[in-house]
Chains A and B, each alone.
Chain A
């Protein structure tokens, strides 16, 4: 039946085509969502009920990795406790290619109400496709104070219109294995480390051979684990179109890789090694990773999977001349499906989950919420299993966080090119110069178009 419907839609689109073919596709604009109601997709759907039945409202929430994520259920439980007439069903689309899948599902008319937004490129694409409900009016009418989010809401506005509110705001830290440092008789990393000091420490901590080898640090195969050290000085961004500033960072990490200080990228990539396993099994002294790993590490110690039971966190290494606490940030947001028939209820849940009450729930699971305050920091640090030392608590205080991927109309394409360049450089398929030249050319072409 659904297939038949999509055929009908396709046929309608063919007809519409001739009417629409002279109108140029608008760029990302705030007025674009109005067009949604004119597409055949919503025509084929039943008219939204004027007033949803107050007794029961069933919301559908699209998200990823239910089993690995500790705060979805607590958020739902807390909300449903206050709104017994609401049920919230989670739909897990998996984490690999989540945003692509979400966009495809929404284009096919999926009946999700609340949408978890995983990354900026995917968010921009969804806005371009008019899948997301604009939130400015709601923010104003519901009295949401966007200043609580520490400036992130302004960074995700597209033509002054906001389409998501963050409920998690992760930033990057260094996780270290205290037992390995104790065994080597090396002092723990500090909350104020330059990148050069981090490198020095990693080299000191590398020991052993074969299966018993302990690596000084570990760079997961994501581009962000390596190349984004280069944006911490605030002089360049990843959407500029020229990437010569990445060279020193790649030189540093390739030298470590060459000297056996960190594991070889090609091996990690072909074996699909997950960074958590490397840290759990005492194979690395230090790991640079986002705060999302805190909750996982705590949970896996309790389950006995993580053998790195004595651990701590410190602030991210920073370039010379940049204050400690400068780090990378990434936000996870919630949006409402522009085609949802239960927008009011969906918006109310969004307000709860992204607001102070939701932040308290998220923090209680050891996860960093988007609204940070001293109480929230204290709450995370007091989670059972969080390292007890003062340095680890101090590490949670951020001076400045640069978004991993700033908002840009072409961020999805830029990201693809940079990821390929990263792969080519890290596997040695291209020299650093060739890899960067390739990025410059291709992103240049993209932005020139």
Chain B
């Protein structure tokens, strides 16, 4: 991920050559950094300032200190959105991780049509979200969808007694987690496949000589060897789960582009507060909370990378 920057200063007194090399190096970094500064750093700083203000986007700003954060503590909708985001993360992260690993191990075997199946597993990740969400909504449609029709045929239960999936407070989270795992596991499978290529085959040979069976080899060779990969996947999954928005909107929002208590996530709440309620300050305060969460996870990742990165 991180590139080695040539010409990093070693001594105090910089020679002309070093300065020149440094400038060249900076000039290479500049395009990226300028982009980062313009599109990320400045907006982030602006958002930080906004979180202390009351602002509707047009009228003069009003400094209210930590008023937005105080309001946040009492705001039931915010807590609900935060809770939903945590529930979603708690469901999606382990499920995606395990499915991606299982898929990667299966498709790492020398089986016929391996590349075909790898493509099949990767396809949901590249497929258009809007299109596949529409298909899933149809599949899980409470009375017309195949899922409930099969359940109806198998159990004989009336449609009213069957789960309403995406439309039900009890099943909506399950539906979206299931969808998200299916959609994204292919991507993490590819990362795991890359990780598996890095496992030294001699370790398996040694384990075999010691009489290890398949499970023992997996448990004592594959898993420890994949720790750095797993760590990376874990962090990426957690961060993307906290930032989730698109999947919820496409699965649940319907015509009025609105989510309810059971499906409202943090990013949606931020969007709604900023652009529908025109409370840019309060929305920025919520965005700061999200930022701190993601920042915390990223810091853990940086530490872990040092530990596992070898």
Contacts of B278 in A (CB 8 A): 103, 125, 128-129, 412
Shortest beta-carbon distance, B261 to chain A, in Å?
Answer: 7
B276 touches A25 (CB 8 A): no
The stretch that binds A, out of B98-106, B120-128, B138-146, B193-201, is B138-146
| Interface flag for A26 (CB, 8 Å) | yes
| Interface flag for A80 (CB, 8 Å) | no
A39 touches B141 (CB 8 A): no
| Interface flag for B258 (CB, 8 Å) | yes
| Interface flag for B46 (CB, 8 Å) | yes
Contacts A270-B137, A427-B164, A429-B169 hold; do A21 and B63 have CB atoms under 8 A apart?
yes
The stretch that binds B, out of A180-188, A261-269, A293-301, A364-372, is A261-269
CA distance A266 to B168 in the complex (A): 8
The stretch that binds B, out of A149-157, A226-234, A413-421, is A413-421
Contacts A129-B59, A130-B59 hold; do A416 and B38 have CB atoms under 8 A apart?
no
| Interface flag for A82 (CB, 8 Å) | no
A221 touches B254 (CB 8 A): yes
The total of Cβ contacts below 8 Å across the A-B interface reads 133
Shortest beta-carbon distance, A434 to chain B, in Å?
Answer: 11
Contacts A21-B63, A270-B166 hold; do A420 and B276 have CB atoms under 8 A apart?
no
CA distance A39 to B272 in the complex (A): 25
CB-CB contacts of B265-276 with A at 8 A, as 1s and 0s? 000000010011
Which residues in window 98-140 of A have CB below 8 A to B? 100, 103-104, 107, 125, 128-131
- The winner among A7, A35, A36 for most chain B CB atoms within 10 A is A7
B256 touches A419 (CB 8 A): yes
The stretch that binds A, out of B7-15, B48-56, B291-299, is B48-56
A26 touches B59 (CB 8 A): yes
B142 touches A24 (CB 8 A): no
Which residues in window 427-445 of A have CB below 8 A to B? 427-429
CA distance A24 to B175 in the complex (A): 45
| Interface flag for A32 (CB, 8 Å) | yes
Contacts of A7 in B (CB 8 A): 38, 42
Q: Which residue of B lies closest to A97 (CB)?
A: B257
CA distance A60 to B58 in the complex (A): 22
CA distance A265 to B60 in the complex (A): 43
B61 touches A20 (CB 8 A): yes
Contacts A97-B257, A128-B59 hold; do A266 and B167 have CB atoms under 8 A apart?
yes
Shortest beta-carbon distance, B260 to chain A, in Å?
Answer: 5
Contacts of B272 in A (CB 8 A): 416
- The winner among B38, B164, B167 for most chain A CB atoms within 10 A is B167
| Interface flag for B57 (CB, 8 Å) | yes
Decide if the interface of chain A is mainly helix, strand, loop or mixed: helix
Contacts A17-B61, A129-B278, A270-B141 hold; do A222 and B165 have CB atoms under 8 A apart?
no
Shortest beta-carbon distance, A436 to chain B, in Å?
Answer: 15
CA distance A128 to B168 in the complex (A): 37
CA distance A223 to B63 in the complex (A): 37
Which residues in window 6-55 of A have CB below 8 A to B? 7, 10-11, 13-14, 16-17, 20-26, 32, 35-36, 39
CA distance A267 to B43 in the complex (A): 41
Contacts of A125 in B (CB 8 A): 278
| Interface flag for B31 (CB, 8 Å) | no
A35 touches B59 (CB 8 A): yes
B275 touches A25 (CB 8 A): no
CA distance A427 to B167 in the complex (A): 6
Q: Which size bracket describes the interface of A in this complex?
A: 35 or more
B255 touches A25 (CB 8 A): no
B55 touches A412 (CB 8 A): no
Q: Which residue of B lies closest to A39 (CB)?
A: B58
Q: Which residue of B lies closest to A101 (CB)?
A: B275
Which residues in window 148-176 of B have CB below 8 A to A? 160, 164-169
| Interface flag for B134 (CB, 8 Å) | yes
A423 touches B55 (CB 8 A): no
CA distance A100 to B258 in the complex (A): 13
Q: Which residue of B lies closest to A130 (CB)?
A: B58
Q: Which residue of B lies closest to A263 (CB)?
A: B143
| Interface flag for A3 (CB, 8 Å) | yes
Interface size on B, residues (CB 8 A): 45
A270 touches B142 (CB 8 A): yes
| Interface flag for A272 (CB, 8 Å) | yes
- The winner among A10, A16, A22, A266 for most chain B CB atoms within 10 A is A266
B254 touches A25 (CB 8 A): no
Contacts A21-B62, A267-B141 hold; do A129 and B257 have CB atoms under 8 A apart?
no
Contacts of A3 in B (CB 8 A): 38-39
Which residues in window 263-313 of A have CB below 8 A to B? 264-267, 269-272
Contact of B58 among A16, A100, A128, A266 (CB under 8 A): A128
Shortest beta-carbon distance, B22 to chain A, in Å?
Answer: 27
CA distance A271 to B255 in the complex (A): 10
CA distance A267 to B62 in the complex (A): 45
Contacts of A222 in B (CB 8 A): 255-256
Contact of A103 among B38, B144, B275 (CB under 8 A): B275
Contact of B62 among A25, A223, A413 (CB under 8 A): A25
B46 touches A10 (CB 8 A): yes
Contacts of B179 in A (CB 8 A): none
A96 touches B58 (CB 8 A): no
| Interface flag for B262 (CB, 8 Å) | yes
A271 touches B137 (CB 8 A): yes
| Interface flag for A332 (CB, 8 Å) | no
Contacts of B62 in A (CB 8 A): 20-21, 23-25
| Interface flag for A249 (CB, 8 Å) | no
B56 touches A128 (CB 8 A): yes
Q: Which residue of B lies closest to A13 (CB)?
A: B61
CA distance A147 to B266 in the complex (A): 47
- The winner among B61, B144, B166 for most chain A CB atoms within 10 A is B61
Write the residues of chain A forming the contact surface with B, with a CB cutoff of 8 angstroms. 3-4, 7, 10-11, 13-14, 16-17, 20-26, 32, 35-36, 39, 96-97, 100, 103-104, 107, 125, 128-131, 221-223, 258, 264-267, 269-272, 412-413, 416, 419-420, 423-424, 427-429
A-B contact pairs, 23 of them (CB 8 A): A7-B42, A10-B46, A17-B49, A20-B62, A25-B60, A25-B62, A36-B58, A96-B255, A100-B275, A103-B278, A107-B57, A128-B56, A129-B58, A267-B141, A269-B167, A270-B167, A270-B254, A272-B137, A412-B276, A413-B276, A420-B258, A423-B258, A428-B164
The 7 closest A-B pairs by CB, nearest first: A266-B167, A129-B58, A21-B63, A20-B60, A429-B169, A25-B59, A269-B254
Write the residues of chain B forming the contact surface with A, with a CB cutoff of 8 angstroms. 38-39, 42-43, 46, 49, 53-63, 134, 137-138, 140-144, 160, 164-169, 254-258, 260-262, 272, 275-278
- Apart from A13-B61, A96-B255, A270-B167, what 14 extra A-B contacts exist at CB < 8 Å? A4-B38, A7-B42, A10-B42, A20-B62, A22-B63, A25-B59, A35-B59, A107-B58, A128-B59, A129-B57, A130-B59, A270-B142, A412-B278, A420-B261
